[in-house]
Structure 1
């Protein structure tokens, strides 16, 4: 049985490398340019985004002159509303379809599926009562590959607005924004 499993592993490994599939790790800076809206206690405030980060794993499969690049990324961003900050955490799955050219350059476009699992307000004693958990965005980007390093610049924008509600006693605050990011990242391919 062990010999059979070992033979299957070698067969799958050689097929994967023959098909041009690369794995990698990715990290980068997220420039959150979402202009959100804060509503509560009879006030409405415009927000602004600030810098965040993302880390995760990348798979790149080459076929027929194109490549497909699904990723699994942990992303953390912040929106600011005067003295309040709302920090959002999500798991993002961008699926890019791209094309390489000039030997080192590439362009990419595709959807990004996001699961938002934690919004926190920087003011104590407020609880996150509800929040939108799923969102879909599109992304477009370009970059260069130098040896095993990919350097990417990507623009991402949500198709719809996301909201979170925070409560403290009888006070109720709600935020709403359409995700809009510029991502600058580096990926190391194994």
Structure 2
């Protein structure tokens, strides 16, 4: 009986998805972080120095809701990227891990291409710093940004290139050898991804 009810429920959901032109999919790709970031020592009283941007990756799921000639595409993505710093000969990385919820509105044209734009809401849940003897470390948790992009669609495959920029800066703060370090960067990146729609 339970299997019958479950099968009926899944059938109803499938019929609803078809009726409402909703498709689901998986996506993944590379992040090319273009913001070098900055590092401050003792809250900036001693120096401020640029870092070096490094590539990362993202992966997750999406839904595409088609209506009236446009589509709305919410996504749930795990993203990871890092910045590299050299402070008086000490080299270290700050790796940022976050969950992203982009909500893009797009338009298809020529039956093959699309353009899209929309906000992205990011939750930073873990900053990894490559120093082993960190006494304390903390990071900003939330940021809101914007994505603008274009892509092509081949059968059920979606190829996207998006430019993303944050409206605010995100920071990490930690203590090493009694010094207080703070890194800041304003998310600016190119996201090159491929998705498969079911």
Question: Taking structure 1 as reference, are residues 79 and 173 closer, same or farther at Cα in structure 2, changes over 3 Å only?
Answer: same
Query: Is the 1:141–1:153 Cα contact (8 Å) retained in structure 2?
Result: yes
Partner of 1:75: 79
Instruction: Measure, in 2, the Cα distance between the counterparts of 1:106 and 1:115.
Output: 27
Give yes or no for contact 2:96–2:126 (8 Å, CA) kept in 1.
yes
Distance 2:102 2:69 in 1: 20
Could you tell me whether the CA contact under 8 Å between 1:128 and 1:164 is conserved in 2?
Answer: no
Normalised TM-score (structure 2): 0.90
> Does structure 1 conserve the Cα–Cα contact (< 8 Å) formed by 2:127 and 2:138?
no
Q: Report the number of matched residues.
A: 190
Aligned partner of residue 17 in structure 2, secondary structure: helix
Partner of 2:68: 64
SS of the residue corresponding to residue 35 of structure 2 reads: coil
Structure 1 gaps, min length 5: none
Between stretches 134-143 and 32-41, larger displacement belongs to: 32-41
Aligned residue in 1 for 2:144: 136
Structure 2 residue runs without a partner (length 5+): none
Matched residue, 1:186: 194
- Residues 25, 187 of structure 1: 8 Å contact kept: yes
Q: CA RMSD in A?
A: 1.5
Q: Corresponding residue for 2:30?
A: 29
Residue 80 of structure 1 deviates from its aligned partner by 1.5
Moved more, 7-16 or 19-28: 7-16
Q: TM-score, normalised by structure 1?
A: 0.94
Greater shift, 109-118 or 163-172, is seen at 163-172
> Counterpart in 2 of 1:20?
21
Larger displacement relative to structure 2 (169-178 or 48-57): 169-178
What is the aligned partner in structure 1 of residue 159 from structure 2?
151
Distance 2:67 2:175 in 1: 50
Q: How far does residue 20 in structure 1 lie from its aligned partner after superposition?
A: 1.3
